[in-house]
A = this chain, B = another copy of it.
Amino acid sequence: MDLSGVSLIGDQAGSTGQDVFRGINPQTGASLEPAFYPATATELEQATALAQEASPVFAALDGVTRAKLLRRIADGLTEEGAAIVERAHLESGLPLPRLQGELGRTTGQLKLFADVLEEGSWVDARIDEALPERKPLPRSDIRSMLRPLGPVAVFGASNFPLAFSVAGGDTASALAAGNPVIVKAHPAHPGTSEIVGQVIQKAIQESGLPAGIFSLLFDSGIEVGVALVKHPQIKAVAFTGSALGGQALMRLAAARPEPIPCYAEMGSTNPLFILPGALRERGASLAQGLQGSFTLGSGQFCTKPGVVFVPDSGSESFVESLSGGVASLGGHQMLTNGIAAKYGNAIEQRVSEGKAQLLACAQSLPDNGGAVGAPAIFSVSLEQFMQHPELSEEVFGPTTLLVHYGAEKDLLAAATSLHGHLTATIHGTDEDLAQAQELVAVLETKVGRILFNGYPTGVEVCHAMVHGGPFPATSDGRSTSVGTQAMLRFTRPVCYQDFPNEALPGELRRENVSGIMRLVNGNLTRVAQS
């Protein structure tokens, strides 16, 4: 596919102009061709008008038809896989095998949503049959199911140029639930975004669906994104990125004349708790596993374990082994020069402020114009950690902080003091865990996912996954942005009272042609009404 550099407005091409930006190769610092053109205000109006027009048409489609669209997009991404991965590698510096894996994850999640649509029960169909003889008052026939919200604004993320970008989890789940999508492309990978956007555009066209179901807007700054979130036709927002960006969008969404749901996944420090039994039994493998996890993807994962609670007693060889491992590492390729610079500054600040002690640092590479970060590991006492809440804030990149604790009851106090995170991890023996019930109970209120004897990096796309957590990890702790429950974010229940059977959506008709699971008079059943 040729790159045009212009936005995709439904099935139309956006305009070029004076104002341009380019992707940058973070391995060399070199600009990449072609030039990209920010969407104009007119283009944004066109995209939202098309989305609004397409909205009832798309909402009225049955799930099987929407599933076909998702499968067509997945097939298109596979067909264009080589071009997508190659361009994503140029724009992000991420290794090719990682990007190939990420592409598989992206197509896999589209197909998983298609599975859910084809099965159909996800709509939570509920039927309370009329009771015309009830005294003192008869009961009406009352039915409800989940319906789409309307056009969704999706912001591509820098750290997953495929799985959390143009055809990523937010787009897939919003489309699956029947909502048109307008993507604001991340400026760090505009070329990747355009190729993927063209695949979606083509799939919609080949499906004979309204072009307004999808648009892709470019911008190097925040202007287009802000206008999009404020636009009255937009009914929900999905974002993955920094706390700064996410919180700005939350404020915009809440301050609209009509406030709308804003799902911002803003990352976290993902506390990891090493309990005494685990340290005794497998300290060396824990050191190795932890190093692998916090440096994976150069530490640029929202689920990177950034705070690690370690027992004071008996941790010497664990700390030594981890420090030695980190000192032997080289510089790590980062996604952008901006991210690399921010990471470097954060590490320098942590060293100079002296609130935590630098245990080990990788040797930095000479400056060749590329974006490089040096892995680093710090330590602090639990008391100091509790005194400096800023130490629990995310540093995006390959670093982590060991927090040494004495008694396990202090650990409970530390857990209670945590704000929201995406994940928490407990490493322990079964006996450790049996004694840590209170800790688990506290962590349940702090995170979306609790892991036992694992590492939080690597988020499985499945039905039970929760990639969410209370603020400030996300804007809405009742939601997940990964897994099939992500669809629920873009729905609301709608109730139909005393409708004739043929005027109801298919899922709510007496005959239950698709055989979906429904709650009929309080009983879950796939049986049609008699």
Q: Contact: B470 with A500, CB < 8 Å?
A: no
- Cα distance A139–B442 when bound, in Å? 26
Which one of A81-89, A341-349, A392-400, A455-463 is at the interface?
A455-463
**Among B438, B478, B522, which residue has its beta carbon within 8 angstroms of that of A491?**
B478
Given A140-B454, A454-B497, output 6 extra A-B contacts at Cβ < 8 Å: A128-B464, A140-B460, A144-B465, A250-B259, A430-B500, A440-B503
Taking the complex as formed, is A35 at the interface, i.e. its CB lies under 8 A from any CB of chain B?
no
Q: Which residues of the other chain, B, contact A522 by a CB distance below 8 angstroms?
A: 115-116, 119, 463
Q: Which residues of the other chain, B, contact A463 by a CB distance below 8 angstroms?
A: 126, 128, 519, 521-522
Q: Contact: A494 with B140, CB < 8 Å?
A: no
The residue in chain B whose Cβ has the minimal distance to the Cβ of A472 is: B258
A423 CB, min distance to chain B CBs, angstroms:
8
A281 CB, min distance to chain B CBs, angstroms:
15
Which one of A53-61, A65-73, A181-189 is at the interface?
A53-61
Taking the complex as formed, is A40 at the interface, i.e. its CB lies under 8 A from any CB of chain B?
no
Q: Contact: B497 with A451, CB < 8 Å?
A: yes
A308 CB, min distance to chain B CBs, angstroms:
17
9 pairs of A and B residues whose beta carbons are closest in the complex: A466-B495, A126-B464, A449-B495, A128-B462, A451-B497, A144-B464, A56-B441, A478-B492, A254-B254
A131 CB, min distance to chain B CBs, angstroms:
10
Q: Contact: A139 with B462, CB < 8 Å?
A: yes
The residue in chain B whose Cβ has the minimal distance to the Cβ of A253 is: B254
Given contacts A128-B460, A462-B128, contact A452 B498 (CB under 8 A): yes
Taking the complex as formed, is A350 at the interface, i.e. its CB lies under 8 A from any CB of chain B?
no
A226 CB, min distance to chain B CBs, angstroms:
18
Q: Which residues of the other chain, B, contact A147 by a CB distance below 8 angstroms?
A: 444
Q: Contact: B496 with A59, CB < 8 Å?
A: no
Taking the complex as formed, is A127 at the interface, i.e. its CB lies under 8 A from any CB of chain B?
yes
- Cα distance A137–B440 when bound, in Å? 27
Contact with B along A159-180 (1 / 0, CB 8 A): 0000000000000000000000
Taking the complex as formed, is A359 at the interface, i.e. its CB lies under 8 A from any CB of chain B?
no
The residue in chain B whose Cβ has the minimal distance to the Cβ of A126 is: B464
Q: Contact: B259 with A475, CB < 8 Å?
A: yes
- Cα distance A454–B137 when bound, in Å? 13
Most chain B Cβ neighbours within 10 Å, of A140, A147, A258, A494: A494
**Among B55, B462, B493, B498, which residue has its beta carbon within 8 angstroms of that of A451?**
B498
Q: Contact: B60 with A441, CB < 8 Å?
A: yes
Q: List 11 A-B contacts (CB under 8 A).
A: A119-B522, A128-B465, A139-B462, A144-B466, A147-B444, A258-B471, A450-B495, A450-B496, A452-B500, A464-B519, A517-B524
Tally of contact residues, A, Cβ under 8 A: 82
Q: Contact: B494 with A448, CB < 8 Å?
A: yes
The residue in chain B whose Cβ has the minimal distance to the Cβ of A146 is: B478
A503 CB, min distance to chain B CBs, angstroms:
5
The residue in chain B whose Cβ has the minimal distance to the Cβ of A97 is: B136
A127 CB, min distance to chain B CBs, angstroms:
6
**Beta-carbon contacts under 8 Å, A477-504 to B:** 477-480, 485, 491-500, 502-503
**Among B445, B448, B503, which residue has its beta carbon within 8 angstroms of that of A495?**
B448
A449 CB, min distance to chain B CBs, angstroms:
4
- Cα distance A477–B236 when bound, in Å? 11
Q: Which residues of the other chain, B, contact A503 by a CB distance below 8 angstroms?
A: 433-434, 437, 440, 452
Given contacts A55-B445, A524-B517, contact A492 B464 (CB under 8 A): no
Taking the complex as formed, is A419 at the interface, i.e. its CB lies under 8 A from any CB of chain B?
yes
**Beta-carbon contacts under 8 Å, A393-437 to B:** 419-420, 430, 433-434, 437
Taking the complex as formed, is A375 at the interface, i.e. its CB lies under 8 A from any CB of chain B?
no
Taking the complex as formed, is A271 at the interface, i.e. its CB lies under 8 A from any CB of chain B?
no
Taking the complex as formed, is A121 at the interface, i.e. its CB lies under 8 A from any CB of chain B?
yes
Taking the complex as formed, is A453 at the interface, i.e. its CB lies under 8 A from any CB of chain B?
yes
Taking the complex as formed, is A142 at the interface, i.e. its CB lies under 8 A from any CB of chain B?
yes
Taking the complex as formed, is A304 at the interface, i.e. its CB lies under 8 A from any CB of chain B?
no
A518 CB, min distance to chain B CBs, angstroms:
10
